[in-house]
Amino acid sequence: MKLIIDVAYQNNEAKVVGGFFEDWSDDVVFKQSSKIVENVQDYVSGEFYKRELPCILEFLKDVPLDEIELLIIDGFIYLDDERKYGLGAYLYDSLDKKIPIIGAAKSRFYSNTKYVEEVFRGESKKPLYVSAIGIELPEAALLIANMYGKYRLPNLIKEVDTETKNTWIIQ
C-alpha cells in the first residue's frame, strides 16, 4: 500500500489528508482519511519542515506503517545541491529510513537542481519537480510520470490536494 500526504493550513490549525492506493495505475484512492492538528508553528522560510513535519507525524500515528511501501509528499527531499535537508529527508529520518519518500512539488525550489527531476505530464508546459529518498530518483520520476491522469497533477495526487482545501470536516 502506498500513501499520498498533503497538508493545508488555516489560522494555527492544519488539515492533514492521506490518500491510500495500491497500484500506480489507480485512478482514485481506495481510502482517504484526514486529521486536524492544532497549535501549528508559524511558517519560517527555509524551515518549512518545522511546520509540516509534526503535522504529518501526528497523522501517521493512526496509520499502520508496516503496511506502507512508499509515501508521496507535496515538497522536496533536499533544498539545495549540497543536500540541505527538506521536509522529505526529515520525514525519512523520522521513519527510521524504512519507508521511501517521493516529493512531488508544484514549484521549483531556487537552489535545487541536482536532486530533482522535472516531470512533464499531459500537455502541461509546467513540470512537477520530483525528488526522492530511499528510492532512486529516475525510478521515482518515472512512477510519477506514469501515474493515471492526463494533466500535470496525477489524479491521485490531485484528489488528495483537493481534499486538503475542502472544509475542515474530518472523514
82 lies in which domain range?
Answer: 2-165
pLDDT of residue 41: 84
Evaluate whether residue 171 is within a structural domain.
Answer: no
* Alpha-carbon 75 to chain mean position: 6
Evaluate whether residue 15 is within a structural domain.
Answer: yes
Widest pairwise Cα distance in the chain? 40
Query: d(Cα 70, Cα 130) in Å, to the nearest integer?
Result: 14
Min mean pLDDT across 34-38, 66-70, 102-106, 166-170 is at 166-170
Query: d(Cα 35, Cα 29) in Å, to the nearest integer?
Result: 17
Are 160 and 29 spatial neighbours (Cβ–Cβ below 8 Å)?
A: yes
Section 40-47 average pLDDT: 79
Angle of helix 48-60 relative to helix 87-94, nearest 10 degrees, comes to 40
Tens-digit pLDDT profile for residues 122-170: 888 999 999 999 999 999 999 999 999 989 999 999 999 999 988 665 5
Evaluate whether residue 36 is within a structural domain.
Answer: yes
Section 74-91 average pLDDT: 93
pLDDT of residue 168: 64
Residue type, 17: V
Section 13-23 average pLDDT: 95
Evaluate whether residue 17 is within a structural domain.
Answer: yes
Evaluate whether residue 101 is within a structural domain.
Answer: yes
Residue 99: pLDDT over 80: yes
Q: What is the mean pLDDT of the chain?
A: 91
The cell for 6 is: 498533503
Tens-digit pLDDT profile for residues 25-39: 999 999 999 999 998
Banded model confidence at residue 171, pLDDT cuts 50, 70, 90: very low
Evaluate whether residue 62 is within a structural domain.
Answer: yes
Number of domains in the chain: 1
Here the CATH number for the domain that contains residue 99 is 3.30.2170.10
Q: How many CB atoms lie within 10 A of CB 114?
A: 11
The cell for 7 is: 497538508
Query: d(Cα 158, Cα 17) in Å, to the nearest integer?
Result: 12
Evaluate whether residue 57 is within a structural domain.
Answer: yes
Evaluate whether residue 114 is within a structural domain.
Answer: yes
Residue 22: pLDDT over 60: yes
Q: Which residue has the higher pLDDT, 12 or 68?
A: 68
